[in-house]
Structure 1
Amino acid sequence: MRRTDIHTILVPGSGAIVIGQAAEFDYSGTQAVKALRKEGYRVVLVNSNPATIMTDPGIADATYIEPLTPETLEAIIAQERPDAMLPTVGGQTGLNLALALSENGVLEKYGVRLIGANLEAIRAAEDRLLFRETMLKAGIPVPQGG
């Protein structure tokens, strides 16, 4: 069901291809952008890597090939005014950007909501101790740390 409170969605790409990250996020990110547009959302894509499928003309409504930094994303958010940000298809880069933009107050300042994962889930996955505690609370065993 389409959310009527969201019109424009910011999607950060994963940036330069690094072994173990980027190629799979390029594909999944492209599919996510296509699905969002099919549902009628306006999609603003930011990626530092011009050699991705995501940055092909016609994939997103607006495409920025810019450094994936909190400062760059803040400038794009100020200009495009997205209602939401989907960081999960940007891999580690997208998650790090979501955390940074939250911590420096940009998301709150511009009223941008996270979709796909909330801050608590991202923090729990990124912080090893928090992740361990979350798994144990859920009854999921974890290996002993060193």
Structure 2
Amino acid sequence: EKPDAILPTMGGQTALNVALELAEQGVLEKHKVELIGADRKAIAKAEDRQLFREAMDRIGLESPASYVINDLPTAIDALEKVGLPAIIRPSFTLGGTGGGIA
């Protein structure tokens, strides 16, 4: 099959991941396949929490306080700033698993 275009926004997380990977590896360009519905930058921005937050800040949309945590001291510092209750979740998870409320 030689598609002219791919619409990854209708195939869930797997379609988005595969479309980004194909684009990053140059497969889409090599075979002249257009990514439609959303471009690479839009998909990446929606997938990356920090990029998404920066985009919302640029347009003046309020977002809940959030921090990227890599160790316990940083987590404690962030919790002191946010207060309780706090939602704690991994940066990437399938189906929302691995998070909790403190």
Q: Give the TM-score normalised by the residue count of structure 1.
A: 0.45
Match of 1:101 in 2: 22
* Letter paired with 1:90: G
Alignment of 1:1-146 (within 5 A): 80-146=1-67
Runs of 4+ displaced beyond 2 Å: none
Name the Cα RMSD after superposition.
0.8
Q: Which runs of 5+ in 1 are unaligned?
A: 1-79
Report the identity percentage. Answer: 60
Partner-residue secondary structure (3-state), 1:82: coil
* Offset, 1:121: 0.6
Q: Which runs of 5+ in 2 are unaligned?
A: 68-102
Which whole-Å CA distance do the structure 2 matches of 1:84 and 1:138 have between them?
Answer: 30
Aligned length: 67
Partner-residue secondary structure (3-state), 2:30: helix
C-alpha distance after superposition, 1:74-125 (max 9, x if no partner): xxxxxx1111000011011111011100111101110111111111110100
Q: Give the TM-score normalised by the residue count of structure 2.
A: 0.63
Which whole-Å CA distance do the structure 1 matches of 2:55 and 2:28 have between them?
Answer: 25
Which whole-Å CA distance do the structure 2 matches of 1:145 and 1:93 have between them?
Answer: 26
Larger-Rg structure: 2
